[in-house]
Structures are given as structure tokens and as C-alpha cells.
Amino acid sequence: MVLGDMLELGPGTADFHIQAGRRVGEMAFGHLFFLGDQRDRLAEGARSAGMEGGRVHSLSVPEEVVKGLEEVMEEGDWLLIKGSRRMKMERIVEALADRLGKA
């Protein structure tokens, strides 16, 4: 799973990201990739839910996310990518499609 920041949440932004990270950390995804200014809070939440640290990836640019996904994904894996529209998460989808020859 790849999660980007949730934007325009107001004063509770930090706590909401920790809570979101905790919720996805409880869902037993193989790996979690977090992108954006709140990535460390998302990762904190996932680890606090018991997600193994080596499966939680807090990254600063989409290219790092794509590289990380390429390292862990195997044929048949499913990938969920979600973030606020202004996070432009389609950059990750497009880069993966280009690299996999499926554009």
C-alpha cells in the first residue's frame, strides 16, 4: 500500500495521520509506503500498531517509492495507492506502468 498525505484537515492533521497509520498498520499489508510531509506520522502510527519496521517505508519523493515498490513487489501482488488529489499519486502509477512496459 502507498499512502500520501491527507490535506486540509486543520489543527488535527498530525493526530489524524498517526491514527490513519495505525489503522493501516493493523491491516496486515505486506509493505506500507508513505509519501508527503506527514509520512513520518503515518509510519509512527503503523509501527505503533505492531507493523514490523522493515515493512514500513517513509519516503520523500515518488521516485523513491517506485524504486522501493520494485524491490518488494512480486508477480500477482496487489497495490493500493491513495492520497489527497494534490499529492498527485498518479505519478507513481505512471512510473510503474512505464517501467513494467504497460503504459
**Cβ of 95: how many Cβ atoms within 10 Å?**
18
**Mean pLDDT across the stretch 20-41?**
95
Q: How many domains does the chain have?
A: 1
Strands (E), 1-103: 2-4, 32-35, 56-59, 81-82
- Alpha-carbon distance values, 93 to 35, 67, 85, 100 (Å): 14, 12, 14, 11
23 phi-psi bin (left φ>0, alpha ψ -120 to 50, beta other): alpha
Q: pTM higher than 0.95 for the full model? A: no
Q: Model confidence at 102, in pLDDT bands (50, 70, 90)?
A: low
The pLDDT of residue 15 is: 94
- The range of the structural domain enclosing residue 89 comes to 2-100
Residue that wins the pLDDT comparison between 47 and 28: 47
Q: What is the CATH number of the domain that holds 9?
A: 3.90.190.20
In angstroms, the CA 101 to CA 99 distance is: 5
